[in-house]
Structure formats: C-alpha cells, structure tokens
Amino acid sequence: MKTLRIALAQMNPTVGDLNGNVRQILSWVREARKAKVDLVAFPELAITGCPPEDLLLKPWFVSENRRALQEIIPACRGLVAIVGYVGQDLKRNPRSSSCGAGGPELYNAAALIADHRLLGNYHKQSLVNHGVFDESRYFQPGQRLSLLRVRGVVIGVTLCEDLECSKGLIRRQAAVGAEIIVNISASPFHRGKSRTREQLLAARASENGVIVTYVNMVGGQDELVFDGNSVILDRAGGVLARGGAFQEELVVADVGVDAIPSGRRPQRRKIRIAGTIGADLDRYSVKMLAIEKMRPPIRSTVTEPIEDLEEIYRALVLAVKDYVKKNGFARVAIGLSGGVDSALTAVVAVDALGADRVRGVFLPSPYTSQESEADVSALVGRLGIDLSVISITPTFESYCRSLAPTFGDRQVDTTEENLQARIRGTLLMAVSNKFGDLVLTTGNKSELSVGYATLYGDMAGGFAVIKDVPKT
C-alpha cells in the first residue's frame, strides 16, 4: 500500500492583508515540514483572503498577490503545497488601468508547488454566482483538469464548488487515474452546513472510488463566517481525519492508497470518459521530495462535530472577534436594556474579546422599569464589564418640548417610543466617536425581517451580532 502524509492548513486569512496572509502561510508550511508531510493544502484564495470582491478590479492588488506567491514558493522545500490565490493569464493582454468586471485574465486559482518550484496552476471551473458570491463578475472559468503524481499516487486538484458541479469533474479526474482528490475551499457557515457538506464529500468519495481531502478556511470576514471543519474521507466515505470547527489547525493524516483501486467504473466506461478529456488535462510529476522516507506513523485526529446551538454560538463569537480584530478596534460598546437580545450580545462579546474590552451602556428613560435596571446590574456584575449610565430623560423631555408646538394635542404613540431609541442611538455613537469603541447592535433576525426596529435608533452601530439569529 502506498502512503502519503497529507496536511490541511485550516487558516484564518484577512481580506487584502497580503503580507499578513503570506506570514501565516509560511508559518503553516514550517509546521507541515516539522510533521514531515508529503503534501500540504491551503484554502481557496488563501493569499488574498475571501471574498476579495472589488479589490480584484485593482491591477496593483492582483500583481501584489502574484508577488506574494513568489515569496511562498522558495519555502516549500521537501513537500508539495497547494495554495489558493488569484491567477492571471498575462498572455491575454491584461488591461493597464483596471481589470474590469469579468476581465478575461483573472482566475480563481490553485498554485501547484513542489520542492520550491511552481509546477503549474489549476483554475476553478465551477464559479459560484449565487448567495453571497459573485465570482463571474471577476473570474473566468478554467477549462483544464490538473493531476499531480506524488510518490506514485495520482492526485486531482479542485476548488470548492467544483465538487458539486454538474460537469462531473471528480468523475472525470477519477476516470484518468486520480486516486486522491484535494479540494481547497472557502465555504461560509450556516446552520447545518458542515453536516450537509460532509455528506456531499462522502458521496463524491464513494461514487468515484477516490479518497477526498477537503480543506476549508476558518474565520470571520465582515458578515461571513468560515467554519473550518476540514476533513479527509476514505473511498467509502468514512472519516480518516477531521479538523475542529471555528479554530485554526493543521490537520495531518497518513493516507493509505490501495494498489488496486476499488469501486471505480468498469474499465471500458473509464476509457470512453478519459478519451473525451485527454486534451484538457495537465499532468505533473514530482519525482523526488527532499524528505525522510522513514518516519513513524501518526495517529490522525477525528474531532467530533459539535451540536447545532454550540455551533451557532461559536460562529457568533468568532464573527465578533475577527470583525473587531481585522478592522482595528480596541473595544466595543453595547447598549444594555435589561432584555434578552442585549444580554446575549454582551455575553458573545465577552467570550470573543474579554470583559476588559467590552463597555456596557445603560440609557434609562422615564419609562424604564426597576426590573430592567436590576437586570442590567446583574448582567454587568456577572460578566465583569464596565458600565456607563447615561439618562436620556433630559434629552427626551427637551425633544418633546421642541416638538410640542408641531404635535399639538395629538396622542402619545410610537413616535415618542422611536424618539427614545434614536436618542439612545445618538448617544451610543457619541461614545463610539469619543473612545473609538465599535458599537454592537442588538437586533435579532425575527424583528429585523419584519421591520420591527427604529431607523437611526436601535439599528445604529457598526456590527449587528445577532441579525441572523431568530428570536424563536
């Protein structure tokens, strides 16, 4: 049996921070070399961060991303590295001033590096153009398959949605000899996504008789959270190794490949399929790696999946942690009302940042109950956060006096309720401006989806932590 030691670098890049992302990649390469791996795979768009969006319209950014790749190549001694970045076909007359939406020269690419040299590139074929992604705006689809032969094992390379597409890319790679499929991905989290994704990967493995290795990005980027959950599956779809959720990690496993593949299509069918794609296939062979052939076997880690509620909570914590860090904020401020929504937001913030970086702001009005005040006091005491108390009563009364000539004898209604929310929003933003705190808003999905919120009031802030969490 042939054996490859494969590492999946479940890393947390930052969109646009090319130098920082390169430092991360080089650090993981060093860890992979210490583990004596044959191959290390990095996530989709690891160099640029994901999603880079309109940064791709800036020629200097695309050029710097290619330069960043050149920094990584010399460090990849003694191993194969598959690194996600933005590829550019310079032979197709790139624009001098801007790439332009849908420019023909850009590809969502995987760099294939072996023993400190660039062998070639694989270009993503199934561009994602739904949900939060708009890849067809920036990239052209690839047309060619890529196979690597490493220590006698044939490896097919794919990117993210290539596994799901109707083109049958995995089937085609298996038909021309792929024994292992490496898929590098940047797949954002939603509830139940990790289980659905792993079921799909297992189906692709068993349908095609191949080992599937899948590396996913981890981390928060604006409104997206990438959950990790990288995994290696055997030909039957069984789990050989699994990374944790919402944490950076190097997932390492010794992957055994049988000499005679099982579960493949009949040979006659295979030849017919292979004959249709031979002209669109790039083959690369890594003849020798500068790595010790004798190494003790390792026991791979299979991290157990976490249940739904914990998964959602950890996604929220990572989202807050990374948004604050990646946007350069030192502290956050939260308007505390004594209700469930602001309490949950505060708990998430403390778990993400620590109590010393969270400021609670209580803004009582003439209608605030003693129970609300007591609940805020109890919450602050349990969390150990600072509390600022700013009464809105004088401001509210002043507004009411100013509006009285216009309102006349009209009855008090939601107008006055919304006025209180807007005063609170103004004062919270003043705290933000003065101290540099990021205001975390506390509206939930159920309320926001039906417009049960106050424009310029409780919607005012920099990051809506629970906007995708229903009240129910």
The residues annotated with a catalytic role in the active site are: 44, 124, 160
Query: In the beta sheet, which residues pair with residue 50?
Result: none
What CA–CA distance (Å, rounded) separates 372 from 381? 14
- Other CB atoms closer than 10 Å to residue 126's CB: what's the count? 20
CA 401, 407, 412, 413 torsion: positive or negative?
A: negative
What CA–CA distance (Å, rounded) separates 315 from 293? 40
Q: Which two tokens stand for residue 25?
A: 């990649």
Q: Which two tokens stand for residue 159?
A: 């990117």
Taking a C-beta distance cutoff of 8 angstroms, is the pair 180, 255 a contact? yes
Ramachandran angles phi, psi of 169, nearest 5°: -65, -40
Taking a C-beta distance cutoff of 8 angstroms, is the pair 332, 353 a contact? yes
Ramachandran angles phi, psi of 301, nearest 5°: -95, 130
CA 99, 189, 112, 271 torsion: positive or negative?
A: negative
Q: Which two tokens stand for residue 178?
A: 């792929």
Q: What is the CA 378 to chain-centroid distance, rounded?
A: 35
CA distances from 27 to 48, 122, 211, 286, 451 (A): 16, 24, 27, 23, 46
